[in-house]
Structure 1
């Protein structure tokens, strides 16, 4: 299985505390996920919850026309106001490891996402990556960048 990496960075003009408050609230994932994914958090009782190591979150997502996947992730590591990691336990990827880093910078907070992922189905997975998955992930993170820029009062450049 080939492992692919997606890395994104964004500086938000907010405090580290405000960034952590937003990103450590699992329900905020709905706000930064494109509507066309038909993303739905299935785990109940997350209202007011903050993430913690071992937290399991179940979703339903439809990344391709009419195809629905159940997706289960675990928050495997959390170091408050520094980083957290979510890892797929069950879902559409053969491997998913998403690191979120938070770093205070002069203009606010730098958010760094590093996603290492692999696809099932060998050669067919490689073709799917080239034709669909790579651009879909780019779309998701472009959307996230845009929404966060609007949410925290900066214009997209």
Structure 2
């Protein structure tokens, strides 16, 4: 799998990204009850990602960064133990379903009814992710932006 500079061998997050995530969680907790709920959701997602096999973890971390950068209004939370991202109404827009948890050949991002991906009478709602690359990053960013548009 391709990796980028400044990434550690064991995870896809750099030390600076880990620090920024922890800082954001602290900021959310400082905002009060609603902020604490968001921070708890963020921590639950990070904990779920940390428990994944290395290959799944790298992809999940990159998906998490793509969401944070392209759909900051989505709130991280776990959903059936999987990293998920919910809209302001609390409805899950999509989740990351890791291969290791379900014994499948590939991980997926799976969009739910709250995602705004409708395109005619039929459209895909699940996408397989075997590895992270610039092409995959671009597609995930496009899907996330479309889902919340």
Same fold by TM-score greater than 0.5: no
TM bucket, shorter chain: 0.3 to 0.5
**Relative to total residues, which structure has the larger strand share, 1 or 2?**
1
Report which structure shows greater RCO (CA 8 Å, sep ≥6). 1
**Relative to total residues, which structure has the larger helix share, 1 or 2?**
2
Radius of gyration: which is bigger? 1
TM-score, reference length from structure 2: 0.34
